[in-house]
Structure 1
Amino acid sequence: MKWLVLSDSHGMRGSVYDILDSHPDAAGLFFLGDGLDDVEYVENTHPHLQVYAVSGNCDRTRGTLEGVADCGGVKVFYTHGHLYGVKSALGPLCKRAKEEGAAVALYGHTHNPLCGTQDSVLLANPGAVSSFPSRYGILTVEDGVPSFQLRMI
């Protein structure tokens, strides 16, 4: 199964929908903040998608700030990242993911795409939809093993 991972759209709603429309087989969407208005209609326009969304520092904390989801038997911790100082270090984010029993931690905020492993946690930042070119990620879980791909449009 695959899940789309988007962050930091900052008003680029058209790019969000371009990404969604190019992956009709996606099971769900993680939106990691800073553009909640851009995804508020996704549930109406793409009703087959399970949407997980958090508020970012530019969303005026309208929604939840973090969450945990089960993706094909793999626990995924997701947050915008600003509360964990992700521009400086990823240790606090990794620690929080481990506290939640998560094998994957998804975050945004920096606008810089990244995928790596720290202390057995897959850490992934899709980059920013508002960048040129727009950046996003795909989280795939096969046989209980997560992987992450960085993409751009």
Structure 2
Amino acid sequence: MKLLVMSDTHGDVEVIERVKGYHPDAAKMIHCGDSELPYNHSAMQGLERVKGNCDHDSNYLEEIVFQVGEERVYVTHGHLYEVKTSPMKLVYRAKELGATIVCFGHSHILGAEYIDDIFFVNPGSLLKPRRIKEKSFVTITISKTHFILDCYDENNDLIEQMFIER
């Protein structure tokens, strides 16, 4: 099973549409906030989406939780949990919610960590990346024994692949 995750597109409708088209086989497509688009904008259709600190439409929720197979996926932008400083507040919240996968953004920094049996993923930014030059998004391939995180640039070229054992 595969998830597609993007974040921090800051008004770039074209890149959202393009990225959605790259992996139509994804079980879920996720936007971790700061789209800067109205909740009901056509580009946001088909995406599980949350409110970022730059999103002003009141229809967005700050966080969502949903089930994909046996995984409990928690999505939030991250600004409410001070993710630029430390992951700990987000770790505590994920534990409260019983999450097995956490998708978040805000820092514009591509990365992933496995903490206390929870897989944390930040897809970076598709507009203004930090720490790397590539604008990025990710796919997460889920199995019972591991996760495969494929990190792509805005043109769907593979930047890096990570294999994370459970």
The structure with higher relative contact order (CA 8 Å, sep 6+) is 1
Give the equivalent residue in structure 2 for 1:8: 8
For residues 22 and 74 of structure 1, what CA distance do their matches in structure 2 show? 23
For residues 38 and 27 of structure 1, what CA distance do their matches in structure 2 show? 24
Tell me if 1:59 matches 2:60: no
For residues 11 and 54 of structure 1, what CA distance do their matches in structure 2 show? 15
C-alpha RMSD of the superposition: 2.0
Aligned length: 148
For residues 11 and 67 of structure 1, what CA distance do their matches in structure 2 show? 21
Give the equivalent residue in structure 2 for 1:148: 149
Deviation at 1:124, TM superposition (A): 0.6
Identity of aligned residues (%): 32
Give the equivalent residue in structure 1 for 2:137: 136
Large movers: runs of 4+ above 6 Å = none
For residues 82 and 150 of structure 2, what CA distance do their matches in structure 1 show? 23
Task: Give the AA of the match of 1:152.
Answer: D
What is the 5 A alignment of 1:19-38?
A: 19-37=19-37
TM-score (norm 1): 0.87
For residues 8 and 43 of structure 1, what CA distance do their matches in structure 2 show? 13
What is the 5 A alignment of 1:87-106?
A: 87-106=84-103
Task: Give the AA of the match of 1:88.
Answer: T
Deviation at 1:118, TM superposition (A): 1.5
Deviation at 1:30, TM superposition (A): 0.8
